[in-house]
Structure formats: C-alpha cells, structure tokens
Structure 1
Amino acid sequence: MVAFNSLFGLGRMAVGLLAAAWLMATPLASQAQDNKSVDEMAAQAQRALQKGQPREAESLLRKAIEAEPTRAELYMLRSRARDSSGKFDAALDDANKYIELEPNDAFGYLNRSRIYISMEKPESALADATKAIELEPNEPDGYYRRSDIYKEMGKKAEAKADEDKADQLDRS
C-alpha cells in the first residue's frame, strides 16, 4: 500500500509539473509574439520618422510602450518623435525615462541634450553633453554636440577645442 501511495504521489507530482510547464510556456509563447509585434511597431515608427511623420511614429510607439513599458529604446525613439513634433515637455519626459532605464548610455544624455537645445535651455544641454563625454570619452558625437552648444553660448575657444577633439576622434 505504501508503494502504491508513493507511485500515486509521484504520478500526481508529474501531472502537476507538466501542467506548470504548460502554464509557463503559454505566456512565454504569447510574450514572444508580443515582442515580435512590438519590434514591428518600433520598426514602423522608425520608418515613419524617416518619412517625416513624427505623429504617426508617436502613435505607434505609444502602443509599443503600453505592451512593453520597460523597453528603454522605445522611449528614446518616442522622445525623438515628440521633439520633431515640437512636443518638448513630452519629449523630455521620455528622454528622462530612457535615462532612468539606461543611466550609463551616453546617447541617452545626447538625446536629452538635443531636447534641451530645442527648449532653449543651453546650460542643461551643456550638462548633458558633458555627461555623455564622461560616459563615452572616445565618442565624437558628445564633443560635436558640446561644441555646438558652446558656439551658441558665444564660447568660441571651448567650441573650437571640442570640435578639434571630435575631428581627431573621427579620424582615429
């Protein structure tokens, strides 16, 4: 009788494990489908931006973010779309969310720097360009951005130094 109960217990455990595996696999398959559709929406949004249709891109990205709210690159892309549409405060919100999710990505700070330029906040733009350079000192884009900001601020020597550094990095 003990052997039967042991076998019966093992049988129930096996059925339970199979059921658990099936229940776990179902959401994974669904999640894989969701990832694919989010990837497609992101690709469509990118194409819309390239065609000069930032509002279409923003709409697609809203849906993508609803499906996957922790995918940082979606916020980066939507911030670009919103910046292109003149929705600077909303663009800044998305840029901040991207940086929250990816605090060590220099391009997040360069993106937010561009938005600050659109908002005519040169000091904030300068701080973000400098942060991008700190994170990626061998990336010329940070120096080019900071050079442009310095030019706008009338700081010709600083602008020239950063432009020279960016050109040097581009050549190497």
Structure 2
Amino acid sequence: MPARVPCCSKCHCSILLFAAMLLACAPGAARAQAAGPSSLSTKDPLLSSATRAQTAEEKVMTGIESARRGAHEVAVRYFTEALQSGGLSRYDQGMALKARALAWFDRGMMEESLKDFTAAAAILPSDPDVFHNRANIYLKMGRNAEAQADLNNAQDLYFDRGSLWLEKDDLDKAISDFGKAILLDAKDADAYLHRGIALKIKGDLDKAIQDYTKSIDLQPDATAYSNRGNAWLKKGDLIRAKADYDKAESLDPSYPHTYFNRSQLFLQQGDLQSALQDINKALAINTQDAQAYAARGDIYLRLGNAGQAEQEFKKAQAIDPQVILPQSSTGGPPPTLGAIQ
C-alpha cells in the first residue's frame, strides 16, 4: 500500500443522528428532495403541542424532519432544545450542532452557522463534512485563508474516512469519500489510487484502470503500476499486465506485491519456473506473508513436489491459520490463487 497512512479514528455514528449525517453536504433544497416522505408524522412540528417531541432524541429527530420540510426556523428551535436538555451524549451534541449549523445556513444566518460548525469541530475533529461546510461559510465571508485551511483538512479527512471504509469493505462509501477528496484536490494521486482499489474490488475494472492511470500520471510508483497490472490481469490482458508489473519492479524492486502478482500471471501462462522465481523474491522481501507461502505451495504442487508443497502450506498456516490454501492440498484441482487487491 502507499506510504500515506490513514489517521482517522474509529467510525462512531449514533443511530439517533445517522440521518443528520446524510444532510451534511447537500444544499437545503436538495436535502429536502432527497429525504423522501416523512416517517415522523406523530412528531410533526405543525401538530399540536401535546404530540410534539419531548425527549432530547425526539427533539433532534423532529428538528431533522423540520429541516427536510424546509422549516429551518422550527428545526433550529428543536435542535436548541435538545442541546439545552442535557440528554445528549458528547458525540450526539456534536452531531446536533452540525445539524443546527446547517439549519442556520439555510436561513442565511452565517455567523450563527459558523459558531455551531466551530463548536461541532471541537467535538467531531475527524468529521470532514464539518470542515467542508465551514470552509464554504468562510469563503462567503471572504476569509479565504481560513477557508483554505479547512478545505485542506477536509480533503485529508475524506481520504482517511475513505480508507477506513475500504478496510471495512464498504466499497460504495469508500468510493464516495475518495471522490470527495479528489474534488477538493484533483492532484491527489493517493486518492485516485485508493478509489481505483475500491472500484477494482467492486468489479468495475474499466473505471479502476482509469483511476490507476490518473494516479500514475500524477505520481508514478510501484503500487499504482502493480495494482493496474492486477486490473489488466483480471480483464485477461496479460500483455499489459506484464508490462505494468515489469514497470513496478523497475520503480521499486523492494515492493513484494509486484512479484506475488506477476507470479500469478506466470501461472496463468503455465510458466511455473518463472512463477516460482517471483514468489521466491516476494518471500525474500517479506518472510511473514502467509498467502505467498500458500502460493509457493501451489506452485510446488503443480511441479509435482507434494512434499515441499506441504511444508509451504504448514508455514502459511503457522503465520495465519485462516489462510486460503489451494484446493489441491485437500485433493482438489490446484487453482490459481488470486492476485492481491
């Protein structure tokens, strides 16, 4: 993986305020359109006071519903009552401030919105939407230096959050956040690379190749070339895959994944000796790669050396008991192990 390391904290989202997160970036009219029909009719602000919200949770949900309907003044009142009630957790306070800031913004009250976004930022320092929205307010106020600082912070946080979604295999959210990072910095090679990885895992190989290519254009490195090689390999274009793997090796001979991936290409071509040479290189660099030991065992099986293959499988399982072994180790035909994502 690239040198850029995600730094975002564990994703924390209460059920109560999940809907508020959905309102974070869209303009007021778009939010109202996207919200769909109300599911909170018994707490509608237009009903009598006897049916109105009482708990802090109800007040926040009614505030969200009011904002969806365009009743931003009513929304502010409910968010304020919820915040003053003392019934919200620290995190939910931050989310309520964020939601109220959006309601202030939709009312055209920039100072109040800025104050709430600033208070929310102190509670939710890893939430990119807070800084992105506050940057828009700074821009409207002509405070360009502060806006740029917030945009830079938001861009990094979108990347970090996208990386977290990628680790959790939530590919759509990862793709969305990497896309937001790219919108804020069209020269972020890492964001293109990581979005490409998510797209490749999702199976959208053509778009993945486009992102890998953009990353390479911005910052050629072994990781991008090796990952693009994987996409070409998945598409069955062995010539382009081999060219990308070779380029990755020339850029960084110490990157082990290139050798692992190229060994899979050689397996598809039936060149077992070249596959073995590459997997040996991968393991010389990273001696703790369980999947590489399993892959080497697969190669030995294909070469007819069952004894050596069994030793490789034992090494793989000693490192990772959950490692995927070739079917041939249990009597089935030896498949080609998948290239890394």
- TM-score (ref. length: structure 1): 0.79
Unpaired runs of at least 5, structure 1: 1-25
Cα displacement string for residues 140-172 of structure 1 (whole angstroms, at most 9, x for unaligned residues): 22211111111122111110111122222335x
Unpaired runs of at least 5, structure 2: 1-142, 288-341
Letter in structure 1 aligned against 2:180: K
Letter in structure 1 aligned against 2:157: E
Percent identity for Structure 1 against Structure 2: 30
User: What does 1:45-56 align with in structure 2 at a 5 Å threshold?
Assistant: 45-56=162-173
User: What does 1:1-172 align with in structure 2 at a 5 Å threshold?
Assistant: 26-103=143-220, 105-171=221-287
3-state secondary structure, aligned to 2:260: helix
3-state secondary structure, aligned to 1:137: coil
- Whole-Å Cα distance in 1 between the matches of residues 254 and 189 of structure 2? 23
- Whole-Å Cα distance in 1 between the matches of residues 232 and 172 of structure 2? 20
Higher helix share: 1
- The higher relative CO (CA closer than 8 Å, separation ≥ 6) is in 1
- TM-score (ref. length: structure 2): 0.41
3-state secondary structure, aligned to 1:66: helix
Letter in structure 1 aligned against 2:245: A
Cα displacement string for residues 83-121 of structure 1 (whole angstroms, at most 9, x for unaligned residues): 111111111110000000012x11110111111122222
Letter in structure 2 aligned against 1:160: L
C-alpha displacement at 1:29, in angstroms? 2.8
Bigger radius of gyration: 2
C-alpha displacement at 1:72, in angstroms? 0.8
- Whole-Å Cα distance in 2 between the matches of residues 133 and 28 of structure 1? 42
Letter in structure 2 aligned against 1:72: A
C-alpha displacement at 1:46, in angstroms? 1.1
